[in-house]
Amino acid sequence: MKLALKIGLTSFAIALATSAGFSQATAQRIPSLVGLRPGEELRLRDARFTETFDSSTYVRTDFIQRRRDQKPVPFFTHQRGISVTLAHAQRFVLINDYFATKGCRVMVADLQAHRDWQIDQAAAQRYRQAAAPDNRLIVLPEAYSFSPDDTKVLIGMYLVDLSVATAQEAAQVSNLYKKWWFVVDTSSGRVLREYRTVEIPKRWYLG
């Protein structure tokens, strides 16, 4: 019987760590986004982020207060966990919404229009079609950062889990993982270009 293998589990950590696939998976998984927790304060780009939690509904509401704001402005609601970063012009918030144990969607919240939208779908679809990942690999899209002009977002396809039965199978399957990056349009999620490399191009937002 197969089991869901968490990358962080000690039992298979050595097998994964010595495989090329795991090295790709962890080489640059250092997004500029930072996690929010209820009751804690986060400061980014001179803005203050906070999160509240309603124990009766399990709904979490996230707020931002920039220097121009007289009071905290709500920008996103969810029921699990998110990580965020603020756009350079401070109009948009980039969000990794971890809506399930093995699920993540990339969202953008517009602080001016007071709405949010998902931008990872086209990138995820292209990755599935072109990379054809093994179904034992759990690969999720995660936002990395805004471009300097905030019109583009870099999304990475990250290996977060494996569905295998043994450590040997884990080592073999993780080598099948392909780390790709996608540059998408902030307003629509349209894929502008892709990079089939482990390393992030320094100027990924150009061209």
Per-residue pLDDT reduced to its tens digit, 52-89: 999 999 999 999 999 999 999 999 999 999 999 999 99
The pLDDT value given to residue 20: 43
How far is residue 200 CA from its own chain's centroid?
15
The whole model's pTM is what? 0.84
Q: What are the tens digits of pLDDT across the range 90-109?
A: 999 999 999 998 899 999 99
| Residue 29: per-residue pLDDT | 52
Residue 207 is predicted with a pLDDT of: 73
Return the amino acid letter for 182. F
Buried/exposed code over 116-148 (b: 16+ C-beta within 10 A; e: otherwise): beebbebbbebbeeebebbebbbbbbbbbbbbe
Does the pLDDT of residue 25 top 50, yes or no? no
CB 177 within 8 A of CB 141: no
